[in-house]
Amino acid sequence: MPRCRIALMLVSAFFLISAHVSAATAPIAPSVLTQHNNNARTGVNPLETILTPATVAVATFGKLFTLTLSSNVNGQVLYVPALKIGGKIHNVVFAYCSNNGNNSPCGLFAFDAESEGPALWNCSLPNGAQYTTGTPAIDPASKTMYLVSKDLNDDGSNWLHAVDILDGSERPGSPVKITGVAQGMGAGNQGGKLGFPATHANSRPGVLIEKGLIYIAFAFNSDAHPYHGWVFCYGYDGSSFTQKGVLCTTPDPDVGKPQNYSKDGGGIWQSGKGLASDGKAIYCTTGNGSFTADTGGRNFSMCFLKLHPVDLQVMDYFAEAKLRSDSDADLDLGNCGPLIIPGTTVLFAGATKYGRSHLVDTMAMGHFNADKDACLQTLSTPAPGGPVGENAVAWNVGPIGSFIYLWNPTQQVAQYVFEAAKRAVVAPMPGKSGLSSSGGGGGLCVTSNGMSNGILWCVGMDGVVHALDAMDVSKELWNSSQNPDRDGLGSVGHFQFPTVVSGKAYIPTGDGKIVVYGLLKR
């Protein structure tokens, strides 16, 4: 059967199922507490009842107001409804601003989500901070935000913070300096021990909170050697942090292998995407560097990793067949982070620098095979031709499976059909959007009311925001250039993701602002 016909049959079946599914009563006000909305990192808000394909159009939807920050948001804006701040109840958006090298104040901002005005509160982090891109995460029960900062002056130390989201104050015992030691003779070791480096470590992935534990990960801001990939697990009891686990991804030398990166690398980059979790394990991808796992070693560059949820030991991994030649050419597998396809045990990570994407089963990841990729499926997805950072998102359309969306630079927005029964991508959708070239590549998210009214939101590197019909991305509903005087966004920044919740879209810019879009008043 032709692939396009399979895709159309899946779409038709989706409509039949949607017509017979009773809509569950949605919470009055959903939250966005972590990067890409959930720990599976699907990028979906399935509780949106205000914005629909029928209401998002140039005549009815546009820019409402702008919030001004001290510097750029690198990551995603978070949202918590119905917080009492300053004696009043507010829906609140939170933004973490990093320094970006312009010596501007760096810290946290809380704004009323419904109107333009000054911050409800803002605070500068101790000693400022250098370039960090990790989105914080919020524990709603304790009203605590966890985030990582890096010193601007002294030694470039990294710090883990626990912040009260009601006023921006540090919780007791916060911040804590992030330190760690791994046994090994890799680059930078002293007497067989690798200490967690300060200046050669930068936290790009979003923070993960899972079952009361906090997970953070590191690479470096550029390929300045030596560096390693690091993952940390912390607990926080309301008064102090306790380190539970530490992983260094490349603790040993890789003697005799034809690689440029023989003693280090393996950074956790992920272009800002957070570490993922299914509640049983932690998942991440690693970049180029030393790899010895195929011979029983402990170096895991160019891999999908499955980590123990407490001590962070590697439980399983997948490495692509051409990893060594790709690693030498700086063609990272870990350019973007994995998402867990809804309702499955399958990981997907698109936009590798070498132009292929992989579906990996978390129950049996496949390890390394030099002859072929030992995973469920490898897809040809053109490599980024421009700025990195194109993380995929996935929308569950019921028993049929899911749609996976990916937007690489110089490419159209791609909509793939993942068929649950086959645990494979059976075809790309026959219709693709015309969004490409100068706008190609950027942050994505999906809003829907369960399995209906899906909208794919895209923020292009050319500074244009797009809303596409998530059932068929060839259908554009609205974009910010249709009425540029009213809706123009401006420039965009590095590793920024849209947040769309409760009828409004919060879009960070490249010049220290958050532009807020929503339904226009008539």
CATH of the domain at 154: 2.140.10.10
Token duo for residue 387: 């700025």
pLDDT at 4 > cutoff 50: no
Residue-wise pLDDT for 34-93, tens only, equals: 999 999 999 999 999 999 999 999 999 999 999 998 888 878 999 999 999 999 999 999
4 within some domain:
no
Sign of CA dihedral 116, 120, 124, 130: negative
Residue 294's pLDDT band (cuts 50, 70, 90): very high
Q: What is the mean pLDDT of residues 185-192?
A: 90
Q: By the 8 A CB rule, do 205 and 284 touch?
A: yes
Q: What is the mean pLDDT of residues 287-299?
A: 93
Residue-wise pLDDT for 373-393, tens only, equals: 999 999 887 765 544 557 899
Give the helix ranges, DSSP H, for 424-513.
Answer: 484-487
The string over 165-202, giving b where at least 16 C-beta atoms fall within 10 Å of a residue's C-beta and e elsewhere, is bbebeebeebbbebebebebebbbbeeeebebbbbbbb
9 within some domain:
no
**Strands 314-319 and 367-368, bridge-based pairing:** parallel
pLDDT higher at 493 or 276: 276
Q: Which domain holds residue 337?
A: 35-519
> Which pLDDT score is estimated for 198?
65
pLDDT higher at 46 or 12: 46
Q: By the 8 A CB rule, do 280 and 309 touch?
A: yes
Residues 6 or more apart in contact with residue 83 via CB below 8 angstroms:
89, 90, 91, 92, 143, 165, 166
Q: By the 8 A CB rule, do 448 and 456 touch?
A: no
pLDDT higher at 105 or 336: 336
The Cα 3–Cα 422 span in angstroms is 14
The upper half-sphere exposure of residue 501, i.e. CA atoms within 13 Å in the direction of its Cβ, equals 26
Sign of CA dihedral 100, 102, 107, 110: negative
6 within some domain:
no
Residues 6 or more apart in contact with residue 42 via CB below 8 angstroms:
36, 339, 340, 341, 342, 393, 394, 395, 396, 446
Average pLDDT along the chain: 86
Say what the pTM is: 0.92
Q: Flag the least confident range among 34-48, 129-143, 158-172, 339-353.
A: 129-143
Percent of the chain with pLDDT over 70: 85
Q: By the 8 A CB rule, do 45 and 448 touch?
A: yes
* Overall domain count for the chain: 1
> Which pLDDT score is estimated for 330?
84
The Cα 194–Cα 190 span in angstroms is 6
Token duo for residue 150: 């890096």
Residue-wise pLDDT for 14-28, tens only, equals: 333 333 333 334 445
495: left (phi over 0), alpha (psi -120 to 50) or beta: left
The Cα 378–Cα 375 span in angstroms is 7
306 within some domain:
yes
18 within some domain:
no
pLDDT higher at 9 or 205: 205
Residue 2's pLDDT band (cuts 50, 70, 90): very low
The Cα 266–Cα 261 span in angstroms is 9
Residue-wise pLDDT for 211-260, tens only, equals: 999 999 999 866 677 889 999 999 999 999 999 999 999 999 886 554 55
The Cα 219–Cα 355 span in angstroms is 22
| Amino acid at position 493, single letter | G
pLDDT at 346 > cutoff 70: yes
82 within some domain:
yes
